[in-house]
Amino acid sequence: MNSAIRRLAVAAIIMMLALMANSTYLQAFRASDLNARNDNRRVRDSQFSVNRGPILVGSTPIAQSKPINDQFKYQRTYPVGGGAPYAPVTGYYSYLYGRGGLELTQNSQLNGSDPSMAFRRVVDVITDRRQQGASVTTTLNAAAQLAAYGALAGKKGAVVAIEPKTGKVLAMVSRPSYDPNELAGHDLTKVSAAWKKLNNDPNRPMSNRAAKELYPPGSTFKLVTAAAALSSGKYTPQTTVRSPAQLDLPQTTVKLRNENGQNCAGSDNATLTVALRNSCNTAFGSVGLDLGAQALQQQAEKFGFGERQLPELGAVASQFPQDPNAPQTAQSAIGQFDVQATPLQMAMVAAGIANGGNVMKPYLVQSVKTADLKTVSDTKPESLHQAVSPEVASQLTQMMVDVVQNGTGKPGQINGIQVAGKTGTAQTSPSRPPFAWFTAFAPANDPKIAVAVMIEDANVARNDIAGGTLAAPVAKKVMEAVLGQ
């Protein structure tokens, strides 16, 4: 009898120790994970009763919490233009579906729970004040953001603008977009219906095409190929390259052709400058074959390919194909085959050239401040890579100026301001329209803005799709907004 009681007592002690160990583990090591779960209703109820800090452009809130007379105490609102112009940046704050964008990545700052704000929380407890979140100030330029959003009206696409010398993201727009207010409401039936509608929309309005989607960059990638060529020491802007109407490729009977079916500017041989001016596929295919895939890949990586940027939004990494064969290398040199890039990445390419070859790390959050305006964090510019030498950057700049003044980029011209740019038209399949691209910076001699525009669909005839005609006018409006034109 005593033996049975001892065994039962030992089992009970073990179970109690296991319970204590599990409780300690959950509180010490899993608490933050459990609190972050979207299905943790207790935490959601508590967080929805916090005066969440605003997300700002300058001093203007693009997301803020307002007092409301219901169980949650505060309503998250997105007041500027209904929230749609800034939705890819702010994301959403929903009781049912959690968070996205800055509402997700800056959540601990916005709700005041971040470890850096521990002292503030202690003061709140002592003074019997409700917990209040910090403000997050973005780097966005309101004029550029709204200009980009307006210029993309009726189109499916994206715009990213960067300040070349710092890496500040001045604009990030994706269309079609959505109104985050529909997901932030406290009528959960309406919120559920809005979520289903947005997610079932074939146009994918909740997709951040600017930073989280990959596309073939087409001829805008010729800037990377030109950078590799000039950096190799084998080429100058005046070096003559083969540029026939069609280029024989090794290991295949498939030809690489120029878009217009003709040779480059009336000659089977053209300088690198003329080839970029007219966006000659065969010329850059020839250069790609000469340099080899490794040189192209290394140059692409110096501009940021292969690296995830902008952790504030979880941007995806752009890609250059691994170990392409010779014909695939020629296709890759013109931004086709398996080359994939975000508009953010192609804006970084232009910004790097604009900044003397120095690619700055892009960032979107400028500062975080408590409710009493004490600075929690302040982002400083940081160099990412020296993609090319200042000399090569200067050569590329002049070649890009020539593209806008005399070549395919003429629609990107701005009166009284010298613009450097490159167009692109990326083919995918006969069943869908090509992607139209334009990347540029201005003023060419003292760059204040670098921009990339990608048009996925503009509802125009296939023959009317080109980077110069569709994307360049959008970029022009964004640059003019920043430059005060």
Please list the active-site residues: 219
Identify any residues that bridge with 215 across adjacent strands, giving them in sequence order.
Answer: 341
Cβ atoms of 460 and 403 within 8 Å: the answer is: no
Question: How far is Cα 416 from Cα 418, in angstroms, rounded to an integer?
Answer: 7
H or E stretch at 93: strand 93-94
Question: How far is Cα 452 from Cα 351, in angstroms, rounded to an integer?
Answer: 10
Cβ atoms of 132 and 112 within 8 Å: the answer is: yes
Amino acid at 250: P
Query: Which string of DSSP letters, residue by residue, matches 284-314?
Result: HHHHHHHH-HHHHHHHHHHTTTTS---TTTT
Q: How far is CA 21 from the centre of its chain?
A: 44
Report which DSSP code applies to 164: T
Write down the H helix ranges in 377-453: 390-406
CA dihedral 207, 210, 216, 220 (to 10 degrees): 160
Question: How far is Cα 184 from Cα 359, in angstroms, rounded to an integer?
Answer: 37
Amino acid at 141: N
- Count Cβ neighbours within 10 Å for each residue of 345-374 and write b for 16 or more, e otherwise: bbbbbbbbbbbbbbbbbbbbbbbbbbbeee
Question: How far is Cα 243 from Cα 386, in angstroms, rounded to an integer?
Answer: 30
Write down the residue that tokens 């080839």 correspond to. 275
Identify any residues that bridge with 341 across adjacent strands, giving them in sequence order.
Answer: 215
Question: How far is Cα 134 from Cα 146, in angstroms, rounded to an integer?
Answer: 25
Query: Which string of DSSP letters, residue by residue, matches 24-49?
Result: HHIIIIIHHHHHH-TT-HHHHHHHTT
Question: How far is Cα 369 from Cα 44, in angstroms, rounded to an integer?
Answer: 23
Q: What tokens were used for 472?
A: 């360049």
Q: What tokens were used for 328?
A: 């695939």
Question: How far is Cα 257 from Cα 265, in angstroms, rounded to an integer?
Answer: 14
